[in-house]
Structure 1
Amino acid sequence: MTRKPILLAATGASIVAALIVAVWLMWKPAIAPVSAPPASSFDSQTRLAGARVVALGDCIVCHTAKGGKPFAGGLPLATPFGTIYATNITPDVQTGIGNWSLEAFTRAVRHGVARDGHLLYPAFPYIHFTRMSDPDIAAAYAYLMTREPVSASAPPNDLIFPLNFRPLLAFWNVLFLRAGERPAETSKDAEWNRGKLLVDGLGHCASCHSPLDAIGGEKSGHAFDGGMVDGWEAPALNALGGAPKPWTKEQLVAYLRSGRASEHGAAAGPMLPVTRDLASVPEQDVEAIATYILSIQKPRPAVANVSAQAAEQGETQGKTQGITQAETSASAQRGAILFGASCAQCHGPAAPMQAIGERPTLAYSTAVNAATPRNAIQMMLGGIGWHGADTMNYMPAFGEIYSDRQIADLAAYIRATYSQRGAWNDVEATVAKVRKENNAR
């Protein structure tokens, strides 16, 4: 037998083997549907535990469309590869999970596979939920199966080729999914281990607060280095020690439970509804989260960091290096006039909101001290909406009032006056870009 036929035979065998492996990876069997279990089949304690699990997992945030029924899906989730629409997870039999067994629900949570066998997109963070315990998964199932059934089908996803071909997700899972619970670290105490489980698992914090690679996976070696969500920059959770005033556990707990922290600022954008969910869970859960997050801090930068004393100087306008910068910048000079007209009533050093309401100065704001103006721009464009009696933070939106240039001028003034860091570049272009992104959602 000549060498060429041997090579052809070997190549053919390799192709066949590869196809067999591909089919094995991509094909997942359906799990038989069940009759929708009556609410009475779940005891009250399990449902109560499920409410806690679902709140810690922020399920309602992603699975509720604007103006829609809770958990009925339809919320558009923007990704670099197109738009994915959240599914209906109410117990509706036709459009939700009403005919899913606990086995099917567990497989979806742990492996990202729907009851009928199709693969779920990792916008549903099963690579983190897989670490949930069996009791937590069962409790979440009990809670969701006792919600009001809502008949609502999500719109078709709008993804680029070939990512709209679901079976390819099997290969993505090979790279990023490590299924199953994680053992506790015996060298750490119970609170730290609970916090790690919540942050890395149910809370899936790295999904938002980590950069993504070219195929949408969390970039290896860069967990919690900061990410991008719905047009907002999710700050690096491992750099809280480098804030103008390093975060304390008490401040972080207060922020996560109320959406506001003294000497730091208020939650906005995608983080605001997360804090509303965390306000409903036992405080010890949030304390555990804070303990773990503060344990992963990177060394505080010696040069880039702004000292607390320098930040405090930003409270008094006219006496800081920042105001000197503002006087030499035409954009910041225009922004000073706008600030006096629209912002000083709340954010000026003599504003009652600060003197009486104990709101933090902008000198401590994460957005004002960030490397880019994106979050400051988002705050000015969209504000923080009014949510009735439960509202802790409110800020009017200025997107309909001010032009791109005026928003950029405000950003230039605030940066120069309240931060000791250098001026932002191309601010007006960033305003235009952010506004265009927001309008496209």
Structure 2
Amino acid sequence: MRSRALLISAAALASIGAIAALALMWRPAIAPVERPQTFDSVQRQRGARVVEAGDCAVCHTRPGGQYLAGGLPLVTPFGTLYSTNITPDPQTGIGQWSLPAFERAMREGISRDGHFLYPAFPYVHYQRMSQDDIADAYAYLMSGPAVDSPPQQNRMNFPMNIRPLVSFWNLLFLHGKPLTPLAEQSQAWNRGRYLVEGPGHCAGCHSPLNLIGAEKSGENLAGGSVDGWDAPSLLGMAHRANPWSSEQLVSYLRAEVVDGHGTAAGPMRPVSLSLARLPAEDAQAIAEYLLSLPAKTAINEIPSASAEPADRSSGALLFASACAGCHAQGAPMRDIDGRPALDRTSALQAASPRNFVKTVLEGIPAEPGQPGPVMPSFAASLDNAQLDALAVYLRHQASPDQPWTDLSATLEALRQETK
């Protein structure tokens, strides 16, 4: 009798556990609606600003594709995702989404039909946005042209190809709520905090991630990695050996060339171009907030060990032939187009050579219709030995007492990543 009672109890507990798991992994669909058409121009303009601040086009517009129609591959440690169509097309986009469905996706990561969205979509940060901003973004997106762009099939590895498992990730890490201003801080500081921690989701790139792709607790904005680039720490920017001023940071955020730090490249380039389209006071607010953050040792700012002196003559020759026309002292492009002195750029002053090497390999491509400097790719014209020599020479100009000791390994790794 006792064995039977134990079996019945175990079965009951298992049933309760199964029901709880199903409840956790299931979300209802929200009924489709006819595409709303009743938004006024002022709300659409506010929504355009929110969408720009949220970098929506950076992920939801593939190169050569139509605006916000999706299809951009997002490579993660768990497989490759393709961004979705967020134009108001009723079949392949969000044209049948109501405002409650859109808000649920933004705050909870649940699609209109009830399936879980992967946290590469930064709903962990968007949940901190105000209800008014989410409504304005919805108005703007629903007012745009509808594009027929069916979603591409994601290629996620097991077990992350089982979408309902995202519910357990949410249980662990989805705990935020809309931000409220701090009375003791200025209006600009609060606006900057909101943009950084809410729509701008800066921590998504600039924080280290744990083994299951969530931001490490206590490491907010302490530096991370994205698409093979180091996303530097945003802490203590006003108190470094080469500190940032407010004017420098505002210009950098708006895709300009900044003396002493260079210009945004890699994944930060399209973000800075988006910020350049926003009112200048938004970049000023972000700068005020970031420059107030205290310093903390970041994962990608560990000082390099010293190394034996290297022969820099070949690097000097390579600089003269490949770089001096734009970056040497007295080069015409320094005046005409604001090209920086390379030893005064953040990439060459960083503890890791990764961002410098990535910039040389990939260049800074032209963005059609966008202002800003352009730099050619040298991936095909310089081999690893030449890149090594050039980097050794330029790093000596920037930080003579801290040569890069991991340069060769970084070069080889980045070449393999490119392949």
How does the TM-score come out when normalised to structure 1? 0.89
Equivalent pair of 1:209/1:224 in contact (CA under 8 Å) = yes
Look up the match of 2:216: 219
Letter in 2 for 1:36: R
Look up the match of 2:149: 152
- 1:195-234 equivalences under 5 Å are 195-234=192-231
Letter in 1 for 2:293: I
d(CA) in 1 for partners of 2:329, 2:13: 71
How big is the shift at 1:361? 2.7
Letter in 2 for 1:435: R
d(CA) in 1 for partners of 2:41, 2:326: 45
d(CA) in 1 for partners of 2:13, 2:403: 58
d(CA) in 2 for partners of 1:6, 1:372: 63
Look up the match of 1:50: 47
How big is the shift at 1:333? 3.0
d(CA) in 2 for partners of 1:9, 1:367: 65
Alpha-carbon spacing, 1:348–1:30, altered in 2? closer, same or farther (3 Å): same
Letter in 1 for 2:32: P
d(CA) in 2 for partners of 1:329, 1:418: 15
Comparing 14-23 and 351-360, the one that deviates more: 351-360
How big is the shift at 1:206? 0.2
Q: Does 1:392 align with 2:392?
A: no
d(CA) in 2 for partners of 1:417, 1:93: 57
How big is the shift at 1:405? 2.1
Equivalent pair of 2:254/2:283 in contact (CA under 8 Å) = yes
Look up the match of 1:121: 118
Letter in 1 for 2:15: V
- 1:137-286 equivalences under 5 Å are 137-286=134-283
Q: Does 1:377 align with 2:357?
A: yes
How big is the shift at 1:220? 0.6
Alpha-carbon spacing, 1:96–1:364, altered in 2? closer, same or farther (3 Å): same
Equivalent pair of 1:91/1:148 in contact (CA under 8 Å) = yes
* Percent identity of paired positions between Structure 1 and Structure 2: 49
d(CA) in 1 for partners of 2:162, 2:127: 23
- Partner SS state of residue 81, structure 2: strand
Equivalent pair of 2:257/2:340 in contact (CA under 8 Å) = no
How big is the shift at 1:12? 3.2
Look up the match of 1:340: 320
- Partner SS state of residue 346, structure 2: coil
How big is the shift at 1:258? 2.9
d(CA) in 1 for partners of 2:54, 2:296: 29
How big is the shift at 1:176? 1.0
Unmatched tracts of structure 2, length 5 or more: none
Comparing 404-413 and 371-380, the one that deviates more: 404-413
d(CA) in 2 for partners of 1:239, 1:9: 59
Look up the match of 1:78: 75
What RMSD in Å do the two structures reach over aligned CA positions?
Answer: 2.3
Letter in 1 for 2:379: G
How does the TM-score come out when normalised to structure 2? 0.93
d(CA) in 1 for partners of 2:213, 2:256: 29
d(CA) in 1 for partners of 2:123, 2:87: 18
1:344-390 per-position Cα deviation (integer Å, ceiling 9, x unaligned): 22222332334665544323321112121111011101111123563
Unmatched tracts of structure 1, length 5 or more: 307-321
